[in-house]
Structure 1
Amino acid sequence: MKPALILAGGLGTRLRPVVGDLPKPMADVAGKPFLWWLLKQLENQGLRDAYLSVGYRHEQVRAGMGDVFGDMRLHYVIEEEPLGTGGAILKAVAEMPGDDVLVFNGDTLAVVDLAAFIADAEATGADVALAAASVPDATRYGTVEIDDARRIRAFIEKGRSGPGLINAGVYHLRKAALTGCAGLPQRFSFEQDFLGRYIDQIHLSAFPGVSDFIDIGVPDDYQAAQTKVPALIAGQ
């Protein structure tokens, strides 16, 4: 299985009222850090190396998770200053082996068959494959528009009501597509400044195989995660 990069440097500003000053991935979910559940999911699917991109209170993350998680080795890439999602990925992939990596948002848990996701990404030849979930009402999310070959043609801002296909925060990334992209600043958004800006220049595909997901970034969803996250992991 390819190495995984987990973006675990979030401040968790919107969760401060319920989790205090903890790094967002360390927020308690059913007695364990949210990051524990995400790592457990990856271990269950055969991943053996996870790279954690950490920044805010990174000492707490390392102290809490250590260097080994079950059968996985944990590696830490420290942001000395905030780099945005894109800058964090660009810094981390320079330390990761291989040509391709899996990337996960550290505050999202998506139920997806990673072996099938990787096989699909390789079959399509995508520079970036994005795991997507169908939701009955996409009002609070941005959505993706795809063609018949599942190539992403547009990202639509949040606010459009009705059913839609949304980004579930899991990517299969060809490192060269990002590292070879000229003109990127040190600090940038992976979603907006790379995927959105270069949508016509890179092969960007969607894998609509996410059966369920949860994002703990807002208090209501964080509360729902207390029961939903353990249920999702137990069901895999």
Structure 2
Amino acid sequence: MSIPVLILAGGMGTRLKSVVPDLPKPLANISGKPFLWWLLKELSEQGITEVYLSVGYLHEQIQEFFGDHFQKIKINYVIETEPLGTGGAINKACKVINQNRVMIMNGDTFASINLAAYVQFAEKNPNQKVLLATYKITDSSRYGTVIVNESNVLTNFLEKGNAGEGLINAGVYILDKTVFDEYELPEKFSFETDFLAKYCSYLNIHAYGDVTDFIDIGIPSDYQLAQTKIPSMVSHIE
């Protein structure tokens, strides 16, 4: 698969400090392997051949562990010398990625999604500059939710705390990087809050709902669940 994947792996993992105090979050142990190992394994199994890792906090540990290759994947590093936020990190990385379209993944969530089908959907909709994968969850109170219209276009982002069934952002995007050229953006900003939510009515963000499972390792309770769940999710893409 020719699309490059950018993984946002530069966060400090503040919520996980109690269980992984001395590691960058992507190296958090999941059943004997770093979380990022499982994510890269899944990407390799699905035919991804080039990954960009946006790294910052304790990035030397990540580089030492993975080097410049993982199975069939070439790994490139984009290093933040200071925290830029998710948006700043994406914008910085996009300047060194050659292709116009890039898939973006959060470095602390794992979604079961058929990437080839996702890319094919993007190719059939070339005018969509931002695509966002969503996951339907029975209790969305821990997550911000997204609202879509009958055409599956996002119309609103809601804050955490809305109980009941809802659609959540699964943290897997396909982005035409030229979309950033249309807006005046600071060096440091949140992709989710300061870009997607702020400009939602202009961006025409299309929701892609074919995510069959999802987990966020960002809090200790889900981190414990991930020990068994993530290994069972790898290579189980329908």
- Give your verdict on TM over 0.5: yes
Deviation at residue 232 of structure 1 after TM alignment: 0.4
Does residue 150 of the first structure (1) align with residue 152 of the second (2)? yes
**Could you say what secondary structure the match of 1:201 adopts?**
helix
Change (3 A) 1:147 1:75: same
Aligned to 2:173: 171
Aligned to 1:44: 45
Aligned to 1:58: 59
Q: In structure 1, give the amino acid aligned to 2:134.
A: A
Deviation at residue 82 of structure 1 after TM alignment: 0.2
CA distance in 2, matches of 1:150, 1:200: 13
CA distance in 2, matches of 1:78, 1:112: 27
Does residue 132 of the first structure (1) align with residue 129 of the second (2)? no
**Could you say what secondary structure the match of 2:146 adopts?**
strand
**Could you say what secondary structure the match of 2:83 adopts?**
coil
Deviation at residue 235 of structure 1 after TM alignment: 2.6
Q: In structure 2, give the amino acid aligned to 1:17.
A: S
**Could you say what secondary structure the match of 2:6 adopts?**
strand
1:185-218 Cα distance to aligned partner (Å, 9 max, x none):
0000000111011112212010011100111000
CA distance in 1, matches of 2:87, 2:183: 13
CA distance in 1, matches of 2:157, 2:5: 25
CA distance in 2, matches of 1:130, 1:158: 18
Contact preservation (8 Å) 2:45, 2:235: no
Deviation at residue 118 of structure 1 after TM alignment: 1.4
Let me know the Cα RMSD of the aligned residues: 0.9
Structure 2 residues not aligned, in runs of 5+: none
CA distance in 1, matches of 2:118, 2:88: 24
CA distance in 2, matches of 1:165, 1:126: 20
**Could you say what secondary structure the match of 1:212 adopts?**
strand
Aligned to 1:201: 202
Aligned to 2:21: 20
Identity among equivalent pairs (%) = 52
Structure 1 residues not aligned, in runs of 5+: none
Aligned to 2:72: 71
Q: In structure 2, give the amino acid aligned to 1:80.
A: T
Contact preservation (8 Å) 2:42, 2:235: no
Which of structure 1's runs of 4+ aligned residues deviate more than 4 A?
none
Contact preservation (8 Å) 2:135, 2:169: yes
User: How many residues of Structure 1 are paired with residues of Structure 2 in the alignment?
Assistant: 235
Does residue 190 of the first structure (1) align with residue 191 of the second (2)? yes
- TM-score w.r.t. structure 1 length? 0.97
Aligned to 2:162: 160
Q: In structure 2, give the amino acid aligned to 1:143.
A: T
Q: In structure 1, give the amino acid aligned to 2:151.
A: A
Deviation at residue 234 of structure 1 after TM alignment: 4.5
1:70-111 Cα distance to aligned partner (Å, 9 max, x none):
011000000000000000000001111111000000000000
CA distance in 2, matches of 1:8, 1:114: 20
Contact preservation (8 Å) 2:112, 2:236: no
**Could you say what secondary structure the match of 1:120 adopts?**
helix
Deviation at residue 14 of structure 1 after TM alignment: 1.1
- TM-score w.r.t. structure 2 length? 0.97
CA distance in 2, matches of 1:122, 1:152: 19
CA distance in 1, matches of 2:5, 2:235: 21
CA distance in 1, matches of 2:55, 2:170: 20
